[in-house]
Amino acid sequence: MKKKMNYLILLLTTIFMVGCTNVEDASITDGETDPQEVTTVNTNKNSGKEETITTVVDEPVVEETPTQPNNELFSGYKLIEVDGGDLSGYREPNVVVDIGYGDREYWAFTNEFGQLVRVIADEIILQDDRNEPVLSSGRYYSDEAKVPGVESDVLDEGHIIADSLGGVSNAYNITPQDSTLNRHGDQAYMEDVIRSAGGATNFEAIITYPNTETQIPSSYQYTYTLMGNEIVDTFDNVNSDEVNASLGLTGREPSDSTSSNTNGDISSVDTNGNGQVTIKEAKAAGFSMPITSDHWLYPYMHDADKDGMVGE
C-alpha cells in the first residue's frame, strides 16, 4: 500500500511539473504577441485575500514612412548633375539638370533628341559679385559650352539664363544664338529688364527648333513675373537689326548733335563687356543725358518706357 502511495505521489508531481512548464511557455508566447497582458497581484486589506488583476497593454504601433512620390515636374525625365563649367556641347536626351549657380534651382529639360526645350525657375536670383567667385569679365566661368552651331561667326554661345541672373555655362543653359540678338537685341533687353527689377519669379523659357537634327533654335518664348505683372517675350533667333532694316525702321541718319561715333564700337563705353550700356557707363564715358533714339548708343541701352529716350 505504501509503495502504491509513492507511485501516486510521483505521478501527481510529474503532472504538476508539466503543467507549470506549459504555463511558462504560454506566458513567453503571449509576450511576443500584440497586445501584451500584464498580471499584477494585489492584497485586499479587508479580506486578506490576494486579487489577481490582468491589464492589457497595447504596444506602440510603428508606422512605416511612406515613400515620397516622384516629383511630377520631373516625370518622364532623368535627373542628372552636370558641372556648371562643363564645356562639352553634348546633351543627354530626356533629362533634367539644375543650371543655377550655387544654391539656385534653375531646371533645364531636354527632349528625346537632346535639344534644350524648356528652362524654369521659381525665382531668378541675381549674381552676387561680392559674395560669389565672379571673374573680372562679370562671368562665373571663363568660357561657355561648345554646343554645335556656336562655331558660326554670327552666332554666340547664348545663355538662356545669363551669368548676371545666376545661370551656369554648360550645354543645358547654352544655345547658339544670333550675336545681335544676344548682345543688344530682345534677349539682352529681357535680361536687362530682370536685372533692373532685382530679379523675377515664375520664370519659364520655351525653346523651339526648325527640325529635330539641329541644336540651333528658331525662336524663344520667355514668361516671367515682375512686381506682380506677368510678362511674355517672344522672338525669333535672328538678327533684329536686319529685320528692323527690312521693315524700314532703321533708315534715319543720326543727328550731328547726338552722334559721336558712327561705327557702333561700344568697347570703350561697355566697361563690363556684356554688350549693353548703362546710363552710368554712358555718363562715365562723357555722354550727356538723355540718349535719344537717333544716337548711336541708343540700340545698346535699355529704354524702359520706350519713348525714344534713355536717361531723361
Is residue 29 assigned to a domain? no
pTM above 0.75, yes or no: no
Whole-number pLDDT of residue 145: 97
**How large is the C-alpha radius of gyration of the chain?**
38
Contact 140, 159 (CB under 8 A): no
Q: How confident is the model at residue 82 (pLDDT cuts 50, 70, 90)?
A: very high
Q: CA 125, CA 194: separation in Å to the nearest integer?
A: 10
Is residue 148 assigned to a domain? yes
Residue 140 DSSP class: S
**Would strands 174-178 and 155-159 be described as parallel, antiparallel, or unpaired?**
antiparallel
Q: In the structure grid, which three cell numbers stand for residue 122, read together?
A: 521659381
Q: What is the pLDDT of residues 20-54, one digit of tens each?
A: 555 454 444 454 445 555 455 454 544 455 555 55
Mean pLDDT computed over 216-229: 96
Among residues 216, 243, 270, the one where a domain terminates is 243
183, 298: one domain:
no
Is residue 9 assigned to a domain? no
Among residues 243, 273, 293, the one where a domain terminates is 243
140, 269: one domain:
no
Among residues 223, 243, 263, the one where a domain terminates is 243
192, 259: one domain:
no
**Number of domains making up the chain:** 2
In sequence order, the β-bridge partners of residue 207 are 220
Q: How far apart are the first and last CA of the chain?
A: 132
Q: Average per-residue pLDDT in the chain?
A: 80
Q: CA 254, CA 292: separation in Å to the nearest integer?
A: 10
SS3 state at 205: strand
Contact 119, 110 (CB under 8 A): no
SS3 state at 146: coil
Residue 30 sits at the vertex; the CA angle it makes with 26 and 31, to the nearest 5 degrees, is 120
91, 220: one domain:
yes
Q: CA 217, CA 277: separation in Å to the nearest integer?
A: 27
What's the domain range around 200?
73-243
Q: Of residues 290 and 1, which shows the higher confidence score? A: 290
Q: Of residues 49 and 5, which shows the higher confidence score? A: 5
Is residue 4 assigned to a domain? no
Find the DSSP H helices in the chain.
2-31, 179-184, 186-197, 240-246, 279-284
Please report the DSSP string for 82-109 in residue order.
--TT-------TTEEEE-BSTT--EEEE
Whole-number pLDDT of residue 63: 47
**Measured between alpha carbons, how far is residue 159 from residues 40, 58, 229 in Å?**
76, 62, 24
310, 228: one domain:
no
Q: What is the pLDDT of residues 259-279, one digit of tens each?
A: 444 456 777 787 777 778 888
CATH of the domain at 98: 3.40.570.10
Whole-number pLDDT of residue 31: 47
% of the chain with per-residue pLDDT over 70: 71
Q: How confident is the model at residue 198 (pLDDT cuts 50, 70, 90)?
A: very high
Q: Which residue has the cell 561705327?
A: 263
Mean pLDDT computed over 243-261: 55
Contact 123, 201 (CB under 8 A): yes
